[in-house]
Structure 1
Amino acid sequence: MSYSIEGKTAIVTGAANGVGLAIARHFADKGANVMFADMDENRLAKECGQETDGGNMCYFAGDLREKLTLNNLLSATLDQFDRVDILINGARQMMPTDPLDLEDDTMETLIGQNLMPAYRLSQIVARRMMKQSNGDSDRQAGAIINLSSIASRRTQKQILSYSVSCAALDQMTRSMAVALAPERIRVNGVGFGSVMSASLKDKLKDHPNYRKEIEANTPLGRIAAPGALAEAVQFLASEGAGFMTGQILTVDGGRTLIDPVVAPAH
């Protein structure tokens, strides 16, 4: 069974830094055509701007919370690569929550950032995948992978809104998997923790002892590099996972096997 993604076209959101950037670069290295998408145009230009001319990498900057921006992202991808085979919804944000503060609006913010763009972009891209498949029933029409977090299964008041947004994303993954299965579009997710995401890197700058706490609560005893997720995402995107849909693949160094609720949030 092949895990190749060579020649496929992928859209990766959240691709300006951290996990999203690592996945986008990995896919490009493996021969896929990759549209790097994010809000941070300066960072996108820095990371891949010199490699976009006639190559297999291109970038799109815009606010993915806006429906028009999502349509423009798909149009830009089709203009550059003619089709889209893989969508990786990797744009995420983490914010602390005060559950008893009536003025705290992080729930609305994180649902709007972590769930709705992934949902709307999946709808738009799925329609394109259906159109370009031309009724070919012998192969998959496309693959969608949503990046989530083990926070969706944990109970910590300080990340209540983030946990809810991730749990909603997991349920969206399962529901869309059933809805799109007749169209031969697979939808899976990766729930990760103990990975050096952009938000965790920022956290460690302010709290140096945080690393030791995380490592002590991770059976494999370390924080993984962002690229650790890339192979797992490639597998889910490939024909090798052709009979997998609606699954949330956990990549967390074993954190959820022993995780007490008092352990750090990442």
Structure 2
Amino acid sequence: MADKLSGKTVIITGAAGDLGRAVALRLAGAGARLMLADGRDEALAALNDELGDGGASAERFSCNLEEKLSVNNLLAATHSAFGRIDILVNAERHPTPGAFIDLKPSEFDEVWDTNVRSVFVLSQAVAKKMIAQRQEDPDFQGAIVNLTSIAARRTVSALFAYSVSCAALDQLTRSMAASLAEHRIRVNGVALGSVMTASLRNALRDRAELRDEMIRVTPLGRIGEVEEAAHAVAYLASDEASFVTGQIIAVDGGRTVLDPLASPER
């Protein structure tokens, strides 16, 4: 997909995380110009330097996207650096553990604000910019890609708030797609499952048996890599997916196609 995104400007949130970094490297390889957004300054600066050393056009913006001023400043910084916004990748995720009966309202709010509310606020602001760009350029087409999880469909009681927020994010993705289609802005999601993110790596460190169990319930028989999720993001962001909107693509090795109850009896 070399140069498939040449000339396109992409905002990537959560860029300093392992998933955001993989997406940034993949989209840079496709020729995109990147605005990297995250609150983790040191990791963000390191990624920006890495991309610059590789010849990519990238800028960074340190922010907390739960603050309205940060959203406005991010958009202003992107327009100042590149003059336009073509693609938004919402890669910031908050998989905080906690069961329903023990979860504090403040903990639920924290997960909800990161996984749903901030995605809504930033996506709405970006969509308005895209709509304005289309008024100047009738051929303009935008794309928004949300990173979610199969936890939206495969409930894990120990990830109560995360499961609920991912289900909401999936519906937000579909609803945004329906609302923005007339403006030629596509909205899709990538749902991760059995992918080696930082949160999964930490879980495997605490529970050695989890790796074998996860491989057992994954039809492709292995744990995926964040780079494989980044490939799906790159596809949905590109014109190769020009007739795809409102879809949640599962990058999960086939986990969601299996019924957890193996017996044919019903």
- Compute the TM-score of the two structures, normalised by the length of structure 1: 0.91
Correspondence for 1:71: 72
Correspondence for 2:101: 100
Q: Aligned partner of 2:175: which letter?
A: S
- Is residue 46 from structure 1 mapped to residue 43 from structure 2 by the alignment? no
Cα RMSD over matched residues? Answer: 2.1
Correspondence for 2:249: 249
**SS of the residue 1:37 aligns to:** strand
CA distance in 1, matches of 2:103, 2:166: 22
Are 1:217 and 1:259, in contact at CA under 8 Å, matched by a contact in 2? Answer: no
By how many angstroms is 1:259 displaced? 5.4
Change (3 A) 1:10 1:150: same
Task: Give 1:183-262 correspondences, 5 Å limit.
Answer: 183-258=183-258, 260=260
Are 2:5 and 2:27, in contact at CA under 8 Å, matched by a contact in 1? Answer: yes
CA distance in 2, matches of 1:259, 1:11: 37
**SS of the residue 1:88 aligns to:** strand
Task: Give 1:107-146 correspondences, 5 Å limit.
Answer: 107-134=108-135, 136-137=137-138, 139-146=139-146
Are 1:44 and 1:59, in contact at CA under 8 Å, matched by a contact in 2? Answer: yes
Are 1:204 and 1:210, in contact at CA under 8 Å, matched by a contact in 2? Answer: yes
Are 2:3 and 2:29, in contact at CA under 8 Å, matched by a contact in 1? Answer: no
Q: In percent, how many aligned pairs have the same letter? A: 48
Correspondence for 2:10: 10
Correspondence for 2:264: none
By how many angstroms is 1:182 displaced? 1.0
CA distance in 2, matches of 1:135, 1:191: 34
Q: Aligned partner of 2:10: which letter?
A: A
By how many angstroms is 1:140 displaced? 4.5
CA distance in 2, matches of 1:3, 1:235: 12
Please list every run of at least 4 consecutive aligned residues from structure 1 whose deviation after the TM superposition is greater than 4 angstroms: 50-55
Q: Please give the per-residue CA displacement for 1:6-53, whole angstroms capped at 9, x wherever unaligned.
A: 111101111102111100111112110011111101111122235549
Q: Please give the per-residue CA displacement for 1:139-191, whole angstroms capped at 9, x wherever unaligned.
A: 44200000110000012211111010000001001111111111111111111
Residue ranges of structure 2 left out of the alignment (5+ in a row): 262-266
**SS of the residue 1:249 aligns to:** strand
**SS of the residue 1:105 aligns to:** helix
Residue ranges of structure 1 left out of the alignment (5+ in a row): 262-266
CA distance in 1, matches of 2:71, 2:29: 25
Higher mean C-alpha deviation, range 102-111 or range 92-101 = 102-111
Correspondence for 1:26: 26
Higher mean C-alpha deviation, range 203-212 or range 33-42 = 203-212
Q: Would you say how many aligned residue pairs link Structure 1 and Structure 2? A: 260
Q: Aligned partner of 2:30: which letter?
A: K
Change (3 A) 1:50 1:188: closer
**SS of the residue 1:179 aligns to:** helix
- RCO higher in structure (CA 8 A, sep ≥6): 1
Change (3 A) 1:253 1:7: same
Are 1:215 and 1:223, in contact at CA under 8 Å, matched by a contact in 2? Answer: yes
- Is residue 179 from structure 1 mapped to residue 165 from structure 2 by the alignment? no
Change (3 A) 1:230 1:196: same
By how many angstroms is 1:135 displaced? 5.3
